[in-house]
């Protein structure tokens, strides 16, 4: 039995902590808009994070090189995709491995006509709901929670029983998900996305480069993040080479409309007007947006 089947996800907690720390940063390159992440931090950690010196010391000790920057870039990127889908009037948003994600709350005013579905392992999902309730954070009525183990349970059965509708214009979000799945589960997931996605649907996901699974240690910050993930008991199992993404997407009826790896993310989120970088992004991850053909 994997650790995540017994208790809450450590990587989900670290992502939430990173977003909270980012919200408290005043440097615009390091600031993200996840105010909810701060509110659901444990009390002692929230006090620590409000002190800049202690917050940065905490991150320097716990976060592998470039991962704080990557989480910030990924959060901003997917926030933009999410907001665009709401502006375009998408019918549904399906968030895989939602963890402590707060977009359903942060964008609630824009999402009143969009149904939001959050998929996750039951331990983490239950902990999130309890934490929201404990902090007095009301969950919008258009948000629906579905617990699932993607490697062991039928995604289609879970979606059908959870009220998700086929053939609707849907945004599928797989943030920090694919790398933790075995190959068969990745392909089963995208077969379901293909079958359920309506006209105009979109998907966004991040992935690790396949060379990381081969332990080639060629990328900035790679040894540190591999060690941290292993220590968390949630090892990576799936990756792509960048040139494999287009044929993968096409095989499931999607076209790649955006594909950002480390240098693209640095340029988009950490480069100043003079072309200087305010921070370096961990090189192990890339982010992709797909539109249904």
pLDDT tens, position by position, 17-60 = 999 999 999 999 999 999 999 999 988 889 999 999 989 888 88
pLDDT, position 61: 82
Parallel, antiparallel, or unpaired: how do β-strands 143-147 and 202-208 relate? Answer: unpaired
What was the pLDDT predicted at 4?
Answer: 47
Specify the number of domains making up the chain.
1
* Sheet containing 143-147: order of strands: 143-147, 115-120, 92-96, 170-174, 202-208, 285-292, 254-260
Q: Which domain holds residue 53?
A: 3-292
- Those residues of the chain that have pLDDT short of 50 are 3-4
The angle at the Cα of 203, spanning 201 to 205, to the nearest 5 degrees, equals: 175
What does the block give as tokens for 204? 């966004």
Q: What is the pLDDT of residue 2?
A: 55
Question: Which pLDDT belongs to residue 3?
Answer: 47
Beta-strand pair 285-292/254-260 = antiparallel
Predicted confidence at residue 5, as pLDDT, reads: 55
Given a contact cutoff of 8 angstroms between Cβ atoms, the answer to whether 289 and 81 are in contact is: yes
Angle, helices 10-23/67-87, rounded to nearest 10 degrees = 80
How many Cα atoms sit within 13 Å of 246 on the Cβ side?
A: 6
- pTM for the model: 0.95
What's the CATH number where 248 sits?
A: 3.40.50.150
For residues 266 and 83, is the Cβ–Cβ distance under 8 A?
A: no
């Amino acid at each position: 039995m994997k650790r995540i089947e017994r208790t809450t996800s450590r990587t989900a907690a670290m992502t939430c902590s990173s977003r909270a720390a980012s919200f408290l940063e005043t440097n615009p390159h390091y600031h993200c808009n996840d105010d909810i992440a701060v509110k659901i931090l444990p009390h002692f950690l929230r006090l620590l994070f409000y002190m800049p010196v202690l917050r940065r010391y905490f991150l320097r000790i716990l976060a592998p090189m470039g991962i704080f920057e990557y989480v910030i870039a990924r959060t901003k990127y997917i926030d933009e995709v999410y907001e665009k889908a709401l502006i375009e009037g998408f019918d549904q948003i399906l968030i895989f491995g939602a963890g402590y994600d707060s977009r359903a709350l942060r964008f609630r005013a824009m999402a009143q006509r969009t149904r939001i579905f959050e998929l996750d392992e039951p331990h983490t999902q239950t902990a999130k709901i309890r934490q929201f309730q404990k902090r007095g954070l009301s969950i919008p009525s258009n948000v629906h929670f579905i617990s699932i183990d993607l490697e062991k349970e039928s995604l289609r059965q879970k979606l059908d029983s959870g009220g998700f509708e086929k053939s609707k214009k849907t945004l599928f979000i797989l943030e920090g998900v694919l790398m933790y799945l075995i190959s068969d589960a990745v392909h089963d997931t995208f077969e379901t996305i293909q079958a359920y996605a309506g006209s105009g649907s979109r998907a966004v996901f991040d992935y690790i480069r396949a060379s990381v699974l081969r332990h080639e240690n060629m990328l900035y910050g790679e040894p540190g993040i591999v060690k941290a993930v292993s220590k968390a008991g949630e090892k990576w199992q799936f990756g792509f080479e960048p040139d494999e993404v287009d044929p993968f997407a096409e095989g499931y009826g999607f076209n790649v409309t955006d594909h950002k790896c480390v240098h693209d993310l640095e340029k988009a989120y950490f480069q100043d007007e003079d072309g200087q970088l305010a921070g370096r992004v961990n090189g192990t991850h890339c982010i992709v947006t797909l539109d249904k053909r």
